[in-house]
Amino acid sequence: MPDRIARLKHDFRELFNSAPSAIVRSPGRVDLLGVHTDYNEGFVLPAAINVDVLAGGRLRNDDTIAVYSANFESKVEFPLDAIEFDNVNTWSNYVRGVIRFLQEAGVKLRGADIVLHGNVPIGSGLSSSAAIEMAVGFLMQTLVGFEMSGADLALIGQRAENKFVGVNTGIMDQFISRLGKKDHVLFLDCRTLSYEHLPLDTSALKIVVCDTMKRRGLVDSEYGLRRSQCEEAARLFGQWIPNVTALRDVSVADFEFHKKKLPDVTRKRAEHVIHENERVLESREALKAGDYQEFARLLDACHESARDLYEVSCAELDTMVEVCRAAPGATCARLTGAGFGGCTVSLVRDEFVGAFLDATREGYAKRTGLVPSLYVCTAEDGASVVASDL
């Protein structure tokens, strides 16, 4: 990180002829359990990981936001009182949306110069967008000094993505990026936003993310379709069971009793979500007990369900899962993110990480002709200040 901070400072001085007064970081995330349960008001279990977006900034004496992205090598400016969607520099809409909804929440902002440096792989399912949103939001909070809870800032980020960018995501990505904790995963109830940090010793058990190099081309259309299928399932269950407003309200026993009444595709989608919520709850107890073997079993079961019932896997993801499970030191493997490409996640015993990486890289390339990008991750803190009063 020191090299990245130095590069950010250099870019800031080149662009704005001054030094940033604060630099913050906000991490990407990997979801360990809770595939597509967040928008069903269910339970999720993500971890913040050691890839992140750095944001450096300094307040201005006017009402202009000037922001530069090193990843996209572009700079934009916009006024605080007229924030419009940018059809050219689309990366900036994550920034614009956060600034807009902070103001709509009653926060009095000032103009600022901002530089962004990220190393979260874009398009891989590790939520570079939420990392940008939380980096910008937390930077503005640090610069201006307004009071806002981590949960409320996460909601600002989600609103920016839903209402400004136009991607109808749940709350998980922003929440973990803001509120992650080192060597812990986050159990989050996506309805109540109650949460709990659960121990996962990533010095002994590394989180290895394997990018299949298959970009997630179907996510936008298929995501919306899955969401509508789940809403239809909840509507049907609501006819048979009192007080059902989302699939989160349907127990495994209720599902088994009523499942034959459901259309086939609707049944499969509901079965995945309902059982996935149960797996998250079971994993909560396994992690509290330090039972990593049971935790790994639940992650493996998640992949089979996401593949067969929710149908969000693809040939590349399934191949990577098979290769990872056969590699030295692996305890489990499953797709992560929304699916249809992107990454898998494995828990790998620390002493075998090198052998795991070699076997996975070779095995996947042999079967697909693609050279994967592999990331050895640890569970890290959420958004935090890395330098101030520079």
Instruction: Give me the pLDDT at residue 124, please.
Output: 65
Instruction: Give me the pLDDT at residue 214, please.
Output: 87
Encoded tokens for 107 = 């926060």
Spatial contact of 287 and 198, defined as CB atoms under 8 Å apart: yes
313: closest CA among 303, 323, 300? Answer: 303
Q: How far is residue 146's CA from residue 137's CA, in Å, rounded to a whole number?
A: 11
Instruction: Give me the pLDDT at residue 5, please.
Output: 95
Q: Catalytic residue at 173? A: yes
Q: How far is residue 161's CA from residue 368's CA, in Å, rounded to a whole number?
A: 34
Q: What tens digit of pLDDT does each residue of 182-191 get?
A: 999 999 999 9
The 3-state DSSP class for residue 150 equals helix
Residues in Cβ contact with 78 at an 8 Å cutoff, skipping those fewer than 6 apart: 64, 65, 84, 86, 92, 96
Residues in Cβ contact with 252 at an 8 Å cutoff, skipping those fewer than 6 apart: 274, 275, 278
Q: Which of 11, 173, 211, 249 is an active site residue?
A: 173
Instruction: Give me the pLDDT at residue 302, please.
Output: 98
∠ CA 17-21-25, nearest 5°, is 115
pLDDT in tens, the chain (390 residues): 789 999 999 999 999 999 999 999 999 999 999 999 999 999 999 999 999 999 999 999 999 999 999 999 999 999 999 999 999 999 999 999 999 999 999 999 999 999 999 998 776 677 889 999 999 999 999 999 999 999 999 999 999 999 999 987 889 999 999 999 999 999 999 999 999 999 999 999 999 999 999 876 656 678 889 999 999 999 999 999 999 999 999 999 999 999 999 999 999 999 999 999 999 999 999 999 999 999 999 999 999 999 999 999 999 999 999 999 999 999 999 999 888 888 999 999 999 999 999 999 999 999 999 999 999 999 999 999 998 766
Instruction: Give me the pLDDT at residue 367, please.
Output: 97
Rounded to 10 deg, the angle between the 150-159 and 172-179 helix axes is 140
Q: What is the pTM of this model?
A: 0.91
Instruction: Give me the pLDDT at residue 390, please.
Output: 61
Instruction: Give me the pLDDT at residue 201, please.
Output: 92
Owner of token pair 């299949």: 212
The dihedral over CA atoms of 242, 246, 248, 250, expressed in degrees to the nearest 10, equals 40
Q: What domains are there in the chain, each with its CATH number? A: 2-199 (3.30.230.10), 207-377 (3.30.70.890)
